[in-house]
């Protein structure tokens, strides 16, 4: 088991009130989110533990990404209605269609969060279609 980059106290210090059940879930989710982020970094040849230990600012950014991911997952589990990403209503013979953000209640990282950590980069390249060299 690797390093957990944030704690339940870090979430509480941001002013997010957690119930006892959410605190228990948050502990598990924080560990899982840290592991998932470490795997994403490994795919991009980044040693996340080394980067976090060497750079205080990078460590704070990683902590923020883990907390945001866990908060999204906790919000989808809560009793309050989760955030909608898309919704529509029709009044005649009433019809409603809603798409919820994170309906699967899973941990995920946004593309901009991974870009901020340097784990997603724009890749570009070119392929020479026509051979211009003469033999």
Q: Dihedrals φ, ψ of 98, to 5°?
A: -130, 140
Taking the CA atoms of residue 105, residue 111, residue 113 and residue 117 in that order, the dihedral angle to the nearest 10 degrees is 130
**78-97 pLDDT tens trace:** 655 555 556 667 777 777 77
The whole-number pLDDT of residue 35 equals: 95
Q: Residue 8, Cα to own-chain centre: how many angstroms?
A: 17
The answer to whether the beta carbons of residues 62 and 33 sit under 8 Å apart is no
Helix ranges, the chain (H): 8-13, 20-43, 48-54, 56-77, 111-116
Domain ranges of the chain: 8-116
The answer to whether the CB of 36 falls within 8 A of the CB of 107 is: yes
The pLDDT confidence band at residue 110, using thresholds 50, 70 and 90, is confident
More reliable by pLDDT, 68 or 81: 68
pLDDT at res. 77: 67
* Average pLDDT over all residues of the chain: 82
- Cβ atoms 2, 62 nearer than 8 A: no
The reported pLDDT for the residue numbered 78 is 60
pLDDT confidence of residue 74: 85
- Name which of 10, 29, 13 is nearest 77 in CA terms: 29
């Amino acid at each position: 088991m690797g390093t957990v980059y944030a704690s339940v106290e870090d979430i509480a210090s941001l002013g997010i009130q957690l119930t006892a059940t959410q605190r228990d879930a948050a502990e598990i989710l924080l560990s899982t989110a840290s592991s998932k982020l470490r795997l994403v970094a490994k795919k991009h040849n980044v040693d996340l533990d080394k980067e976090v230990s060497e750079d205080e600012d990078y460590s704070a950014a990683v902590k923020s990404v883990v907390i945001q991911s866990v908060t999204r997952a906790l919000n989808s589990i809560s009793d309050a209605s989760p955030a909608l990403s898309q919704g529509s209503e029709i009044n005649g013979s009433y019809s409603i269609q809603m798409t919820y953000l994170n309906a699967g209640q899973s941990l995920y990282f946004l593309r901009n969060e991974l870009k901020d950590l340097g784990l997603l980069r724009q890749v570009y390249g070119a392929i020479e279609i026509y051979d211009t060299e003469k033999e």
